[in-house]
Structure 1
Amino acid sequence: MFINKKLFTTALLGLLVTLSIIALILSLVRVEDVTLPPTVQYGMVFDAGSSHTSLFVYEWDSDKQNNTGVVSQTFSCDVQGPGITSYANDPSKAGDSLRECLEEALKVVPAAKQRDVSVYFGATAGMRLLREQNSSAADQVLAEVAKTIQEYPVAFCGAQIITGEEEGAYGWITINYLLESFTKYSPKAHMWVHPEADDSFGALDLGGASTQISFVPKGSFINWNETSRFTLYGYNYNIYTHSYTCYGQNEMWKRLAKELIVAFSAFYYNFKFLNLTEGQSLATVRETIEHFCARTWEDLSSNYPEENPERLPKYCANANYILTLLLDAYKFDEVSWNNIFFQIKVGSTSVGWTLGYMLNLTNMIPAEAPVWVKGHTPSLWAAAVAFITLALALGLVALLVLLWT
């Protein structure tokens, strides 16, 4: 009986050594250098318009594509209250108004990433006008905004008033990025590729204090400036962009308030209310607007009981202003009208200048270096784990046998 135990123990130890050697060999052969998946980078952009402020959180993989991030919107928040220009006489309230959205946005970003989040604050036409009227007040508002954001654990990159041309150009980037004019993912190639067709969309934006138009002109164009040139995903783009200050909805209202008791809203919201965002012909648009404007107040209020009573009487004048702007100012006609698409979102992403701004800035945010590790092919790794597990089990059995003897 003693001899059998000794032989059994010896055989067990021999098998244990053999399994350990096999496991060691499997763990050492065909070791390859592999990269870990790219980490996610985050950025925030405040859009401080003339009538309200919004905060957008964007994310992109740290490896980027030809130096430009593939950016997606992950969160948005509308700041409660009016635009920051309304705080010209009490600038501290401009900063305080941002706190709720900032705190909500930080919940979206992992705590370990927050201090690396680049935060930008861009003010548009409302602040451009305030700067012309009272530059000191505009500076104080921006200073309070900066002071508030700097209280949070983020990489604040400044509060500034962007030009109308910048606003238009970044809006052009946004719409063309969302419609895949710059890059698109190829399931067949398993990578992001540049579309074969070199077509792009023009962009029209109607805000509270200004309206912008941006497009790639046909033929040569000499008067390029810094806001007209971009490099995205390794390709160069030259666009024409122009901003018309005081032709936004609120500024036009101020100019006409003495004669008309109406206001002007953005392209999409007015045409959406009139169900004119589905590619209707210009003739249908004109007929719909004419019919709507001929209705009595009693008829409208009874048929739209849930509509804001302050906004309802304005749709007629808004729609007519949009027609005037598009037809008489921008010179669209019956044929080119069919090329206009009224959109406020593409998928779940808001259409505006902030995404284009963030996209362009990713060119200047350094990509993180890839992390290299040693790795096995899955089959060898599984075999090594199996032999190691078996060796540990046999080792435990051998230990129990030795203790028993």
Structure 2
Amino acid sequence: MLRPLLLSLLHALLTPCEGAEYSDPSLLDSTVAHGMIIDAGSSGSRMHVYQWEPRMFTTLPPPISIPGSTNQWTHRMEPGISSYITHLEDIAEALSPLVDFAKDILKDYEEDWERFPIYLKATAGVRQLPYGDREALLSAVRDFLGNPETCPFYFQFDHARVISGEERLRAFLQEGIYGWAAVNFLRGELLALSEGVGTAVSSGNMTVGTLDLGGASTQISFFKSDQDILANLFKLQIGAEKHWNVYTHSFLQFGLNSARARMHTKVVHAVAAAAAPAAAAAAAGADADEGVNAPPVEVVDACLPKGFNESFVSPEDGKEYLIVPADGGADFDACDRQTAELLEASSSSGSFCQFAFPGQCSVLGVYQPELPQGGEHGRFYGFSGYYKLWQFLDLDESTTVAEIVGEGKRVCGMSREELSAYNSLRKGREHNVPYLAKYCFMSSYVTTLLGGGYGFPAEEHIHFVDEVGGYKVDWSLGSMLYEINALPWSYVPPADPAAAAQTSAAAAQEGRPSAAREGRCTTIVWASVAAAFAAVAAIVYGFLERTGRLNSIHHRAGGAPPPYFAARAGTSEEASPWRMTGAVGSGGVIGTGRDRGRRTSGGSQYESISDVSSSRA
């Protein structure tokens, strides 16, 4: 009786008074086995539907829950939600199709929809909005997802938020580290190398670094075996085992779309500044209405192929300009000079980075340790925008920066007609024809970012991937790994309480759950106190059962289970009549959730990622 009242009071205190009607926290329990994440990117939003086994365990500490999915359980909508900032009343246009997609995937579990958690995590496209616009957009999103009439799934206020590119407060994993964890998890290397007791993993020679390139931001993440990371360090904890010292950094405004817009702003600014004196003199002697209908000023972009032109409104003066190619078309070397200015890689002796960390400076003078070298440890996987470019250039999966330069020069030398003809011959051709104008810029920008920004040698091989082990590479997988393992779980002890205590103690001594761990990953910190608690609970239970006091306690409570315990439906005489429930948090075990006899929604509807975690891309 007390626990539901406390939950209701806590929910009332923490839930804002206005806006959406958020879900009842008591709906979330250990039988929940489905969830969704909406990846709200700069150019579009993706709905990812996941399934996992119900979080009811017979060992302590609890084993890691693994999200399963298929590529058919992902749906993309364009444009991104940030494009609705001027007409928030239409936000349903962006979100309704995604929610409807999830409802269709989970149509066999309609009675449990209210218990399936849904999250919306916005990245750099929303992160770069002004504070007021960002908060207004998130408020509209929360109103939609928190309204049972528009979204039937389990939603709380903090389920919709903007994630940072890298985490500085260590409370949550974020975009860069999510991607690193997802790739190395899918490769089947992460957990095996984490096993054992101790502090940090000292040798991760089978892990790979990751490079993510989105529309508004870009991330680089890698493990350093020598532990020499002086800034931008993320300590990634895998269960109760050793942690990984991972360097990760996210660069806002350095995604493909944002970088190209910044480049156009720079070239427009240069033209406007050069024409300013003449324009001022002309304006002084002109009539007030003169020039209002004048055609936009033309600005040459060395990265734009022949046959293309684009309208561009400068964020500096609000005027419209016409971006046109040079007379001879795009030129890779001239384009390189334009993109190099975007990085502003600080190599000057006067920069703070060079003063504090000489020879270890990346884009914008940000500290970056030397890239790992040798073996698998020195390999990098590029995905998202990197893969899109790799696919268009028709390169080998393992490609050097120099090879990208060579193919980039070829693409830059093509006219619009030649690009269209080349595109039509490709198996995975670009369907958005105007996007063909961007591939010259992309080629130059990627090689400049990798070489001049991150410091990759020209002959360094980088692997460009879209899938690993049959699963699409995406930071949302790493995000769901975290969210699942923060959900309520329940412990179902064996019939012999002494065996339960012995099993839990053995698991704690090994520093890892006794259940199979291949392909499992999480980011929660587990202390050995969990095993001690389980042992004490089992001993107390055995004593109460032997002395006959368990029934008297049950009757005095009016048939209700004690706090943090719930009755287990269909219990056999040999099994315990109580099931301990709880949730894993960064600080240990927190009692939460309750088994209300609802049917579980697990089963064989999907292929678990753990089944393919040993696959290598």
TM-score (norm 2): 0.48
Structure ranking higher in helix proportion: 1
- In the TM superposition, 1:233-244 aligns within 5 A as 233-235=239-241, 236-244=243-251
Q: Write out aligned runs for 1:4-403 (5 A).
A: 41-63=33-55, 66-74=62-70, 75-79=73-77, 81-109=78-106, 110-130=109-129, 133=130, 135-151=131-147, 152-157=151-156, 158-165=159-166, 166-183=174-191, 199-221=206-228, 228-235=234-241, 236-257=243-264, 258=268, 259-260=300-301, 262=304, 266-305=385-424, 307=430, 308-335=432-459, 337-338=460-461, 340-370=462-492
Q: Provide the rounded CA distance (Å) in 2 between the counterparts of 1:366 and 1:156.
A: 15
Q: Tell me the alpha carbon deviations over residues 285-343 of structure 1, each in whole angstroms, 9 at most, x when there is no partner.
A: 332222232233332223334643201222122111111111110111145x22x2111
In structure 2, C-alpha distance between the alignment counterparts of 1:50 and 1:137, rounded to whole Å: 15
Alpha-carbon distance in structure 2 between the residues aligned to 1:299 and 1:105: 41
Q: d(CA) in 2 for partners of 1:113 and 1:198?
A: 44
Q: Cα 1:172–1:66, aligned 2, differ >3 Å: closer, same or farther?
A: farther
Unmatched 5+ stretches in structure 1: 1-37, 185-195, 376-405
Q: Distance in 2 between matches of 1:153 and 1:206?
A: 33
Q: CA distance change for structure 1 residues 292 and 351 in 2, over 3 Å: closer, same or farther?
A: same
**Aligned positions, number:** 322
Decide whether aligned partners of structure 1 residues 113 and 233 sit closer, same or farther in structure 2, where only a CA change above 3 A counts.
Answer: farther
User: Amino acid of the residue matched to residue 75 of structure 2?
Assistant: C
Structure 1 window deviating more from structure 2 (283-292 vs 348-357): it is: 283-292
Cα deviation digits, residues 19-45 of structure 1 (max 9, x gap): xxxxxxxxxxxxxxxxxxx96711211
Stretch of structure 1 that moved more, 274-283 or 315-324: 274-283
Q: CA RMSD in A?
A: 3.0
Q: Tell me the distance in 2 between the aligned counterparts of 1:224 and 1:254.
A: 29
8 Å CA contact retained: 1:117, 1:155: yes
SS in 1 for 2:482: helix
Aligned twin of 1:24: none
Partner deviation per Cα, 1:72-116 (whole Å, 9 max, x = no partner): 22411112x311111111112224411111112122222243222
Segments of 5+ residues of structure 2 without an aligned counterpart are 1-29, 167-173, 193-202, 269-299, 305-309, 311-338, 340-383, 493-567, 574-617
Change (3 A) 1:198 1:275: same
Q: Secondary structure at the match of 1:211?
A: strand
Task: Name the SS of the counterpart of 2:97 in structure 1.
Answer: helix
Q: Is the 8 A contact 1:344 1:351 kept in 2?
A: yes
Distance in 1 between residues matched to 2:141 and 2:205, nearest whole Å: 41
**Structure 1 residues 350 and 44, CA, compared in 2 at 3 Å: closer, same or farther?**
same
Task: Report sequence identity in percent.
Answer: 31
